[in-house]
Chain A
């Protein structure tokens, strides 16, 4: 069965420091992978997606993610975190068509001054 694991429930990063959020997936076919961000009181906003091709994908707000098939991972990175990045981040995997996404439990990012 397909599943997504985000092993870190909470992460605290100092403003200006680099960030890496981990995502591991289990999927029987070619995975389509996504990262979404949710700010308090809001819905999910798409940060980036991976379909195929270049394994390093760029997204909005300065985020990037790298697909590593051998490790079944799709980790999210940002070189310098801003206070406004504090939010909850969700990794998701789905089949072609993207209609049956499976989400991880999320990682809450806290940014310290």
Chain B
């Protein structure tokens, strides 16, 4: 599946660092999503954007700051993260205006030292 591209694939950062995750979709979709995948836990929906507007924030701590400058790009800005934030962060997209499933990227594996 190459329609949704996430960079970087791996990221190691200290708790005081600031970094950003990037997601780009080439499918012409209008909705984009951030998920967190931790070991032995269900996939957790973090944020949803529809037509660049945030429509869902699933009680995510403010140290995670999303940005959606256009319907093709989605960022997750990271600041002062905690060790428990180490996880695989998945981006997804969908048409947004019809009952069509989400397409996922390959994720960014984040490790907090």
Contact = CB atoms under 8 A, between A and B. Distances in A.
B105 A104 contact: no
Nearest to B58: A100
Contact residues on A (Cβ < 8 Å of other chain), bracket: 20 to 34
A43 B105 CA distance: 5
A99 B31 CA distance: 8
Contacts, number: 59
B102 A105 contact: no
B104 A44 contact: yes
A45 B41 contact: no
Contacts of A105: 40-42
A46 B100 CA distance: 11
Interface string A20-31: 000000000000
A92 B101 CA distance: 11
A97 B103 CA distance: 14
B43 A103 contact: yes
Interface in A26-83: 32, 34, 36, 41-46, 49, 51
Contacts of B33: 99
Interface of A: 4, 32, 34, 36, 41-46, 49, 51, 90, 92, 96-106
